[in-house]
Chain A
Amino acid sequence: MTTVTGTSAPALRREAATPVTRGRAAVLPTTALVLGALYCLVPTLWILVAATKSRTRLFSTDTYVPSLDLGLVHNVRDLSGYQGGIFWRWMLNSFFYATVGGVLASLVSAATGYALAKYAFRGRTLLFNTILAGVLLPQIVLAVPQYLLLSKAGLTDSRFGVLLPQLFNPYGIYLCRIYARAAVPDSLLEAGRIDGAGEARLFVSVGLRLMGPGLVTVFLLQFIAIWNNFLLPYVMLTSDDKFPLTVGLYSLLRHGAAEASLYSLVITGTLLSVLPVIALFLSLQRFWRIDLVTGALK
């Protein structure tokens, strides 16, 4: 018996070599990837379950089982009622900071990257090296010094104090320089100049247009960086009606440490703050080319 299988197996294997190895090779990686995806989903799924529980049940019922008694509706209502609906204010603030900051930072990056790529001017090398150093300097380390300076200028606890420091994005400038180099041909600019187009017009109608897909990437990177930012708004802001979600929910958690009933509000707020950005992400997936974040252009 053993001899029979022993002789026939290699023959079989040789015959079906490619499909078998391919098939086996594909199952294992897929399983591992699905496990990785589960690891990434677990906290979100749990928060979804926890948000369905009323505050009295949160600590008493089985943690895996969702409540089916409209707990989620009550929780959302409680959260919306908390301090006159301040949670939705935080949500709006986060969108405001991230959208306005993202758009302006992308424009600043585009202009700078385009200039660095397309013009020879004095100080170009110095500027570029400074920006490279800026990429390497952790921005967060600057938050406290920025606060100290802005408090001197009376700009703390204002939306400008949160917005302005985030408009300078060295990595965005670095990427825009790569995009401008690769996507905007010099010959096209020359042709435009011969036709009498001004430099500003060339930048807007040739440069910005051709850098488009790269700019969407720079915008989304900065949108998420601002959306995720905590320390800067945390040090800058004192009035809670200007808080973004991150600072708002953190302050809620801090109160929750003294008053456990707030925990269900924190959990519901966490769920509600994760959902829109995931939706935004999925809907923009078509426009944003993930591979551009590395500056890879092919």
Chain B
Amino acid sequence: MAATTVRARGTSRFPYLLVLPAVLLFAGFVAAPGGYALVLSFQRRKVNGGLLGGGTHTVFAGLANYRDVLGDSALWSGVVRMLALGAITVPGTVLLALLFAVLLDLEGARLRRPARLARLTIFLPYAVPGVIASLMWGFLYLPATSPIGGDHVDFFGRVAVYFSVGNVVVWGAVGFNMIVIHTALRALPPELHESARLDGASEWQIVLRIKVPLVMPAVVMCTLFSVLAALQVFNEPNTLKPLSNALSSTWVPLMDIYDEAFGNSDIHSAAATSVVLAAAALAVSFATARLVQSRIPQEAE
């Protein structure tokens, strides 16, 4: 009996030891920065008047920073551009990924060589950083170096620029999402479509009426990942910026935050914008996860 208690006590301490690193990291690099940003967002730097001159000190500012952030037209234009870009990248990524996954699935359980190579090639851009991808596509867009007609088409035109930036995002994301959906398709029991085939359903009917509805959870997960990526888009427009004047330094919200923190050295405004963006992102992703039956809450039970 005594032995059990000792063991139980040993056991009861061990799980805390296991989770300790993660808890410390969470506290240090998620909770603390979040809290600190919150504190900074309620403060403001004030220039000292009078004889001392020049110096500044920090004062409590209440909601003034938030009022400024929400009234900042540059940020709102950034939000609109982010939404426009997301309207291209989210459906673009998910639909192309779904298409490729279905095509792979049509190839059957054992992929032949061309299909296997295609799957790998479509997946590879996942390992290419957004910055590098933007450099590659950037030179493809640039009139002086473009092999795809950049001297005839303005890839950085008023509307075209969204598709140019969106293309880089989609290029990098399609492969990963394709794999996620293809994995789900492969996990479906073969009896399902075999009986449908016996009933005379065509391959495409089987795909559209049976398979796609059954892998909806995977598609939803891909949509969620793509929405999250769209909210934090930064690398692609920021890297393409030196190549074109069409992209301003506040083109999307995250660039705006960066510009406030490092361009204007206004950390209080940057902190307030960060808080607003994080809260909005969290709300959108929670809503997306909730709205459609996502697999994350399902497995949380």
Where the two chains meet, the residues of A that have a C-beta atom closer than 8 Å to any C-beta of B are 21, 25-26, 29-30, 32-34, 36-37, 39-44, 46-47, 49-50, 58-59, 63-64, 108-109, 111-112, 114-116, 118-119, 121, 124, 127-142, 144-149, 152, 164-165, 167-168, 173-174, 178, 193, 198-200, 203, 224, 227-231, 235, 245-247, 249-250, 253-254, 256-257, 263, 266-267, 270, 273-274, 277-278, 280-282, 285, 290-291, 293-296, 298
Contact = CB atoms under 8 A, between A and B. Distances in A.
Contact of B171 (A32, A39, A270, A290): A39
Contact of A140 (B137, B186, B254): B254
Contacts of A138: 228, 231-232, 278, 281, 285
Nearest to A295: B299
Given A144-B271, A274-B132, 19 more contacts: A33-B107, A43-B171, A59-B144, A63-B147, A111-B21, A136-B289, A138-B278, A141-B274, A144-B261, A149-B37, A168-B25, A203-B14, A224-B126, A230-B239, A249-B135, A253-B242, A267-B135, A278-B124, A293-B183
Given A40-B171, A43-B171, A281-B127, A235 B262 contact: yes
Contact of A144 (B10, B15, B23, B270): B270
19 contacts: A29-B115, A30-B112, A33-B118, A50-B139, A121-B15, A128-B300, A137-B278, A141-B232, A144-B274, A147-B261, A149-B37, A230-B129, A245-B129, A254-B242, A266-B135, A274-B132, A281-B127, A294-B184, A295-B299
A141 B100 contact: no
B127 A25 contact: no
Contacts of B19: 111-112, 115-116, 127
B90 interface: no
Contacts of A250: 131, 238-239
B118 A136 contact: no
Interface in B15-67: 15-16, 18-19, 21-23, 25-26, 28-30, 32-34, 36-37, 40
B4 to A, nearest CB: 10
Given A142-B29, A230-B130, A249-B135, A132 B239 contact: no
A277 B10 contact: no
A145 B254 contact: no
B18 A115 contact: yes
Contacts of A282: 120
Contacts of B281: 137-138, 141
A40 B100 CA distance: 13
Interface residues of B, number: 101
Contact of B183 (A33, A199, A296): A296
B115 A25 contact: no
B201 interface: no
B201 to A, nearest CB: 12
Interface string B231-246: 1101100110011000
B112 to A, nearest CB: 8
B114 interface: yes
A289 to B, nearest CB: 9
Overall SS of chain A's interface: helix
A134 B124 contact: no
Nearest to A65: B147
A137 B99 CA distance: 28
Contacts of B82: none
Contacts of A165: 29
B114 A30 contact: yes
Given A39-B171, A46-B140, A138-B281, A298 B187 contact: yes
Nearest to A277: B127
Contacts of B22: 108-109, 111-112, 131, 168, 173
Contacts of B115: 29-30, 33
Contacts of B234: 140, 230-231
Interface in B212-253: 218, 221, 228, 231-232, 234-235, 238-239, 242-243
Contact of B123 (A26, A49, A290): A290
B25 A47 contact: no
Interface string B263-301: 000010011001001100110011001000001100110
A101 B171 CA distance: 26
A181 B130 CA distance: 34
B196 interface: no
Interface string B129-169: 11111011101100011110000000000000000000000
A273 B128 CA distance: 9
B103 A32 contact: yes
B104 interface: yes
A270 B131 CA distance: 10
Contacts of B99: 32
B235 A224 contact: no
Contacts of B117: 37
B30 A134 contact: yes
Contacts of A291: 179, 183, 186
B29 A235 contact: no
B120 to A, nearest CB: 8
Nearest to A248: B131
